[in-house]
């Protein structure tokens, strides 16, 4: 039973582990820095131009000592072109050449699952977790695989045909080697983590008969203060809430494919990419957003910095549509315009 409609697979670019501990600045820089050629291939894939993406990957693989990410992308392009057997062969060769590339193990699990080979799929997913247990996407794929197996067993027990294809969640392909790099990352515990560790190790106090104020440690655990870096200037709470609301409204308009509201999130003098005029940029964005079966955009790990009269928002942008999903670190420069905060500049953070 397939986990996704015929004709596409879900490609996820997961950049961050699920931990509250910060990554050191040098590690963050190395994870987020990517050559322009890799960004070009990802843009082509997100736009559905798989043939062009495959051509660019083939060109890069002809170079001496090519980046292993292009080998992974070659396999993902084949998978998205419904060439599942070739994609499995491609990934199997990649595992032999790059035994620590965890994304290849995950993708082999996804493709075997798409062929109904559940035991083989589970084997590859478990092999990834054995090498690095904190892989959220792999855990999610294993959970979705179990849902599919359970639904199939339930249908078999009832000797009936259930709408399993519509009900079963899809598994996620990975197209970035950033997860493999995390095996060597050292996370630095925050002050909050240390307090929580001490609190968990200490014996629980005996509660008095009368209600007592909550301990300070509990207040710290329930409402952790946002981490501020040295480059961030102070930002008052009211402004922060206004800017955060503007960013969330922008993501919601994008998800709803509400193009008037989406474009209203930008200033009239928004800095268009590629030297495009406003009309050409709006036409391009409309062609890439409107008309899809669904679009989901969310922002996480948001930080704000006051720079003169504008506010810079940095966050992880999670994008998913009917044919692709991706994750980028994004920067939005927002300014006050007509009583609200509007986007003046938008960039993908590459370093």
Query: Among 3.40.630.30, 3.40.50.620, 3.10.450.50, 3.40.50.1110, what is the CATH number of 237-348?
Result: 3.10.450.50
Cα separation, 139 vs 205, whole angstroms:
36
Beta carbons of 313 and 324 less than 8 angstroms apart: no
Nearest to 332 by CA among 350, 320, 349: 349
Cα separation, 47 vs 326, whole angstroms:
12
Q: In what order do the strands lie in the sheet with 310-321?
A: 295-307, 310-321, 325-337, 340-348
Burial of 84 (0-12, 13-18, 19+ CB in 10 A): middle
Domain with CATH 3.10.450.50 in the chain: 237-348
pLDDT at 330: 92
* pLDDT classification of 152: cutoffs 50, 70, 90: low
Of the listed ranges 43-57, 117-131, 161-175, 251-265, the least confidently predicted one is 161-175
- Token output for 83: 């060439």
pLDDT at 178: 52
* Assessment of whether the complete model's pTM goes beyond 0.75: no
pLDDT at 167: 46
- Token output for 4: 């996704």
pLDDT digits (tens, 9 = 90+) for 27-51: 334 344 467 888 888 888 888 888 9
Cα separation, 121 vs 138, whole angstroms:
11
pLDDT at 255: 93
Listed in sequence order, the DSSP H helices in 62-97 are 68-80, 84-97
Q: What is the mean pLDDT of residues 86-101?
A: 92
pLDDT digits (tens, 9 = 90+) for 175-212: 765 555 544 433 334 343 343 444 434 444 444 444 44
pLDDT at 169: 55
* pLDDT classification of 233: cutoffs 50, 70, 90: low
Check the CA dihedral 276-277-278-280 and report its sign: negative
- Token output for 110: 């996804």
Superfamily of domain 10-184: Tetratricopeptide repeat domain (1.25.40.10)
Domain with CATH 1.25.40.10 in the chain: 10-184
Cα separation, 181 vs 158, whole angstroms:
46
């Amino acid at each position: 039973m397939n986990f996704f409609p015929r004709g596409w697979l879900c490609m996820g670019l997961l950049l961050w582990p699920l931990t509250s501990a910060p990554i050191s600045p040098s590690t963050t820089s190395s994870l987020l820095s990517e050559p322009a050629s890799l960004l070009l291939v990802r843009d082509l894939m997100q736009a559905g131009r798989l043939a062009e993406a495959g051509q660019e990957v083939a060109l890069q693989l002809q170079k001496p000592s090519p980046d292993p990410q292009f080998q992974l992308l070659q396999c993902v392009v084949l998978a998205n072109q419904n060439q599942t057997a070739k994609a499995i062969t491609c990934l199997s060769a990649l595992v032999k050449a790059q035994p620590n590339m965890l994304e290849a193990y995950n993708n082999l699990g996804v493709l075997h699952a798409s062929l109904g080979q559940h035991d083989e799929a589970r084997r590859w997913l478990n092999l990834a977790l054995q090498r690095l247990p904190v892989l959220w996407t792999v855990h999610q794929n294993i959970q979705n695989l179990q849902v599919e197996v359970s639904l199939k067993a339930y249908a078999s027990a009832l000797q009936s045909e259930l709408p399993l294809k519509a009900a079963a969640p899809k598994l996620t392909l990975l197209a970035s080697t950033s997860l493999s790099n995390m095996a060597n990352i050292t996370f630095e515990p925050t002050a909050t983590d240390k307090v929580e560790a001490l609190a968990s190790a200490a014996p629980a106090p005996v509660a008095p008969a009368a209600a007592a104020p909550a301990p300070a440690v509990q207040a710290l655990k329930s409402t952790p203060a946002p981490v501020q870096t040295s480059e961030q200037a102070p930002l008052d709470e009211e402004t922060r809430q206004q800017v955060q609301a503007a960013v969330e409204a922008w993501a919601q308009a994008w998800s709803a494919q509400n193009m008037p509201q989406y474009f209203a999130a930008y200033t009239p003098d928004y800095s268009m990419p590629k030297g495009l005029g406003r009309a050409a940029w709006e036409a391009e964005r409309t062609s890439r957003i409107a008309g899809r079966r669904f679009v989901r955009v969310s922002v996480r790990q948001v930080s704000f910095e006051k720079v003169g009269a504008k506010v810079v928002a940095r966050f992880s942008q999670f994008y998913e549509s009917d044919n692709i999903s991706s994750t980028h670190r994004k920067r939005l420069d927002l300014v006050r315009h007509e009583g609200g905060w509007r986007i003046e500049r938008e960039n993908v953070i590459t370093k």
